[in-house]
Amino acid sequence: MLRRASACGALLVAGLVPGLPFPDCQFDGVAASLVVSHCDSFEAALRDMVRVLKPGGRLGVTAGAQSPDPPNLAYQIWVETAEAFVGPDTLLEASRRVIPWEAWLREADHVTAALTGTGLAGVVLHELAYPVTMSPDDYLAMLDVFLYGRVVRYRLGAARWRAFKKRVAEKLHAREVTRVEYIARFHLGVGRRPE
């Protein structure tokens, strides 16, 4: 993302939040894409981002949105198999530990409240939806690097991880899953630091 934006001529910097290593009122814009849910305190993270904005500067954040759609079949199979291998509490605990605000920020009203709670003005929330179609192999490779995949791999070790992946592939084949389709949904909240 930084490479693509800098290709447009923008001067970009990145930093960990909270604790941005910049003085107050330095930037015209701050963006946090799927970041706030990972912070121990979303309030502290957002306050720090607002702190470095110039008056009139804009903050934009994205968070995963609640989907009205049931999970796709490939995801259901993956999670059911993972829970059989490591237990359902393992995935839930990993989610609570690594992305403590993920579920809370899925609600549009919560994203708006989080942004307005920092003193931002003119907060607007956009709902984004991206249709996704991919092969089962590509989908499983994606899940391997996401949080649950990393947790399951760590818990199982190499031999059991291979057995787990084989089991998932067998179940997808048995259910004749040849294509994975879903809609990735996100909130995009934007607000302005008052003048």
Structural domains present in the chain:
2-192 (3.40.50)
CA distance 191 to 130: 23
pLDDT at 4 over 80: no
3 pLDDT tier (thresholds 50, 70, 90) = confident
pLDDT at 60 over 90: yes
Choose among 123, 109, 1: nearest CA to 50: 123
Residue 160 has a pLDDT of: 96
pLDDT at 42 over 90: yes
CA distance 120 to 193: 5
Average pLDDT over residues 110-134: 97
Q: Give residue-wise pLDDT tens across range 79-89.
A: 999 999 999 89
Q: Give residue-wise pLDDT tens across range 123-139.
A: 999 999 999 999 999 99
15 pLDDT tier (thresholds 50, 70, 90) = confident
User: In whole numbers, what is the pLDDT of the chain averaged over residues?
Assistant: 93
Rg (CA), the chain: 19
Q: Counting runs of H as helices and runs of E as strands, what totals does the chain give?
A: 8, 4
| Distance, C-alpha 176 to centroid of its chain | 29
- Of 67 and 6, the structure prediction assigns the larger pLDDT to 67
Percent of the chain with pLDDT over 70: 99
Choose among 75, 74, 69: nearest CA to 178: 74
164 pLDDT tier (thresholds 50, 70, 90) = very high
Residue 102 has a pLDDT of: 93
